[in-house]
């Protein structure tokens, strides 16, 4: 057995499916003003933050849950969820990593995320979020030297209120759609990053999300602000234990890029996808939106979506500044009974704005995948360009692959090009590989990796390797 196969053997089952036995502090079950006040209180938040939450909650009460999406799910009882859960040991925030509960350290070690800085292997600054709180952020001092702020958002609310006040809700307003508004009301923690003017962030920033407690919704909020001329690359990873019930994850991510700034946001999403019969798994209903506020700014989303029972998200770019650029690279893989409805929105408002969408979807087993995207070139966005390519690969005739692009062009000086294909792996390709000594499974792995290559190339090195492995594992058992 060669290495790759061994690896696959090891990983065949969802290896992040363990639970950490740890004592939790929870908010009372259900959603009401008192719970919001409880969260705000436990975070020692200032009044303006509580007002922000309550305003969102007022709005939330008027909103109806959307139902236009392709994957349907049983109704979620929002009163039957815990909106806050944190390890007890986190009540008084530990000063440094040595004070951290060893069980937490152990968990992250198992997940392959070294929190202890002496063990730094890959030089990535990590903010680790466990259920509703951020447990540790590494490399902070080094970053502070350059003026970069990278900390849990709950800390930022206290230490940098002027920044948070200015940008929180500026891209995803409190009055946005159902899940975003719910998040605005009850978000618990997440990461905050601010890159000052002219600074190129020397290392990758990263957040690692972990859901542990059962019956809990995870609602984090990430806010990244890149000031003029700065650059940051940000990674996000996620896992959850195997449980029979479905868990809700409704995060909000806001990116703001000012003049000449660039943000690169990469996600490898590997939430628990449910078992072979589609039992359990995470509902990943995330709102991600980037605003290219300044001229010449750039936001690039890269995502590898392999987990979750249902993935329903559209990382978007609002290209407001002139000459700004938005990019979206995505691989979405669904197997067994997983469902995904994902894509992007590119909203061109400024002149000379450009966007590029590359989406690769692979569905196998009984799964169902939809690419849904919007390209909207407004009448003022003169000389703008969009290129979209979405390809789908089907394995077996029990799965589905759908493409639903919305294309709006209101400017005669702008061009939009869109193409999409759906096909299966051709017999010739398989035959060719097998003739050269690869097994059927290896051949499929090779072809799929080639199919995804355009997107995988966009990922930072460390992630690319992991993602490539994930692509192989997710399709395990779908051949033949």
Partner 1 sequence: MKEQLQKDFDNTVRNLTLSQKDIEIKKFYLDNFINKGFPNRKEEDWKFSDLNQIIKKNIGELSFYSDYTSTNKVDTSAFVDGLEHNKIVFINGRIEKIDFDYEKKDQIEIIDQSETINKFNSNSSLSDLNSAFTNKSFKIVVKEGYQLTKPLIIYHTTNSKIWSKNINLRLNFELYENSSLRLIDLFKDTSEKNFLNIFYNFDLKENSVLKNYKVDKLENKNIKYSFNNIEQDKNSISETFILSSGSNFCKNEINCNLNGEYSSAFVNGIFSINNNKHHEIRTIINHLTENTKSYQLIKSVLEDSSRAVYQGKIFVNSKAQKTDGYQLSKAILLNKDSEFNAKPELEIYADDVKCSHGSASGSLNEDSIFYLMSRGLNYQQSRELLINGFLLDVVEKITDPEIKNLIKNMIGIKE
Binding site for partner 1 (CB under 8 A): 68, 379, 392, 394-424
| Nearer residue to partner 1 within complex by CB, 244 or 413 | 413
Distance CA 476, CA 381 (A): 45
| Nearer residue to partner 1 within complex by CB, 333 or 395 | 395
User: What's the longest Cα–Cα distance across the chain?
Assistant: 69
**Shortest Å distance, C-beta 403 to partner 1:** 4
**Shortest Å distance, C-beta 359 to partner 1:** 13
**Shortest Å distance, C-beta 400 to partner 1:** 4
Calculate the CA 136 to chain-centre distance: 19
**Shortest Å distance, C-beta 398 to partner 1:** 7
Q: Which two tokens stand for residue 262?
A: 């660039």
Contact indicator for 333, 474 with CB cutoff of 8 Å: yes
User: Sign of the C-alpha dihedral, residues 177, 263, 222, 333?
Assistant: positive
| Nearer residue to partner 1 within complex by CB, 244 or 419 | 419
Bridge partner residues of 96 (DSSP): none
| Nearer residue to partner 1 within complex by CB, 211 or 340 | 340
| Nearer residue to partner 1 within complex by CB, 72 or 436 | 72
| Nearer residue to partner 1 within complex by CB, 19 or 383 | 383
Distance CA 288, CA 290 (A): 7
Mention every residue, 6+ apart, whose C-beta is less than 8 A from residue 263. Answer: 224, 226, 231, 232, 234, 255, 257, 290, 298, 299, 300
Q: Which two tokens stand for residue 373?
A: 């995207």
Distance CA 89, CA 338 (A): 35
**Shortest Å distance, C-beta 401 to partner 1:** 5
Q: Which two tokens stand for residue 315?
A: 């990382």
| Nearer residue to partner 1 within complex by CB, 31 or 394 | 394
**Shortest Å distance, C-beta 69 to partner 1:** 12
| Nearer residue to partner 1 within complex by CB, 243 or 372 | 372
| Nearer residue to partner 1 within complex by CB, 22 or 390 | 390
Contact indicator for 308, 334 with CB cutoff of 8 Å: no
Distance CA 403, CA 372 (A): 6
**Shortest Å distance, C-beta 177 to partner 1:** 16
| Residue whose C-alpha is closest to residue 151's, from 140, 162, 167, 165 | 140
Q: Which two tokens stand for residue 233?
A: 């690359």
Taken as a whole, the chain contains a residue count of 480
**Shortest Å distance, C-beta 336 to partner 1:** 16
Calculate the CA 135 to chain-centre distance: 19
Distance CA 166, CA 384 (A): 29
Neighbours of 74 (CB within 10 A): 6
Alpha carbon of 125 to those of 41, 144, 191, 273: distances in Å? 29, 12, 12, 27
Alpha helices in 357-439 (DSSP H): 427-435
| Residue whose C-alpha is closest to residue 271's, from 220, 223, 212, 222 | 212
| Nearer residue to partner 1 within complex by CB, 204 or 391 | 391
| Nearer residue to partner 1 within complex by CB, 32 or 415 | 415
**Shortest Å distance, C-beta 376 to partner 1:** 9
Q: Which two tokens stand for residue 182?
A: 């719910």
**Shortest Å distance, C-beta 369 to partner 1:** 10
**Shortest Å distance, C-beta 388 to partner 1:** 9
């Amino acid at each position: 057995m060669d290495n790759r196969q061994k690896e696959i053997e090891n990983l065949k089952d969802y290896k992040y499916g363990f639970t950490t036995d740890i004592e939790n502090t929870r908010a009372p079950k259900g959603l009401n003003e008192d719970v919001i006040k409880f969260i705000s209180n436990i975070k020692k938040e200032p009044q303006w933050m509580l007002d922000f939450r309550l305003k969102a909650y007022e709005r939330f009460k008027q909103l109806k849950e959307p139902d236009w999406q392709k994957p349907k799910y049983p109704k979620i009882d929002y009163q039957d969820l815990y909106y806050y859960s944190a390890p007890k040991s986190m009540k008084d925030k530990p000063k440094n990593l040595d004070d951290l509960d060893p069980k937490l350290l152990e968990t992250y070690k198992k997940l392959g995320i070294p929190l202890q800085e002496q063990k730094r292997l890959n030089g990535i600054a990590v903010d680790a979020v466990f259920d509703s709180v951020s447990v540790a952020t590494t490399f902070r001092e080094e970053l502070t030297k350059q003026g970069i702020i990278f900390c849990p958002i709950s800390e930022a609310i206290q230490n940098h209120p002027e920044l948070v006040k200015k940008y929180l809700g500026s891209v995803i307003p409190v009055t946005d759609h159902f899940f975003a508004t719910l998040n605005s009301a009850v978000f618990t923690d997440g990461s905050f990053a601010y890159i000052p003017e002219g600074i190129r962030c020397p290392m990758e920033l990263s957040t690692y999300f972990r859901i542990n407690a059962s019956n809990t919704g995870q609602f984090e909020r990430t806010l990244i602000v890149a000031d003029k001329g700065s650059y940051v690359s940000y990674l996000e990873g996620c896992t959850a234990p195997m449980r029979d019930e479905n868990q809700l994850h409704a995060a909000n991510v806001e990116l703001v890029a000012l003049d000449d700034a660039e943000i690169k946001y990469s996600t490898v999403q590997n939430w628990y996808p449910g078992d072979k019969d589609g039992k359990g798994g995470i509902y990943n209903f995330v709102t991600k939106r980037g605003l290219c506020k300044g001229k010449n700014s750039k936001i690039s989303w890269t995502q590898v979506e392999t987990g979750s029972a249902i993935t329903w998200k559209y990382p978007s770019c609002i290209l407001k500044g002139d000459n700004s650029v938005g990019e979206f690279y995505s691989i979405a893989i669904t197997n067994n009974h997983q469902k995904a409805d994902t894509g992007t929105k590119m909203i061109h408002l400024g002149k000379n704005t450009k966007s590029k969408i590359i989406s690769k979807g692979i569905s196998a087993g009984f799964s169902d995948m939809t690419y849904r995207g919007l390209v909207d070139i407004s009448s003022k966005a003169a000389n703008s360009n969009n290129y979209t390519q979405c390809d789908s690969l089907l394995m077996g005739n029990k799965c589905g692959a759908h493409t639903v692009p919305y294309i709006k062009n209101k400017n005669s000086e702008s061009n939009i090009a869109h193409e999409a294909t759906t096909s299966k792996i051709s017999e010739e390709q398989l035959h060719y590989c097998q003739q050269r000594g690869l097994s059927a499974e290896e051949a499929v792995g090779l072809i799929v990796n080639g199919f995804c290559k355009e997107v995988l190339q966009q990922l930072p090195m460390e992630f690319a390797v992991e993602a490539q492995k994930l692509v192989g594992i997710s399709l395990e058992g779908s051949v033949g």
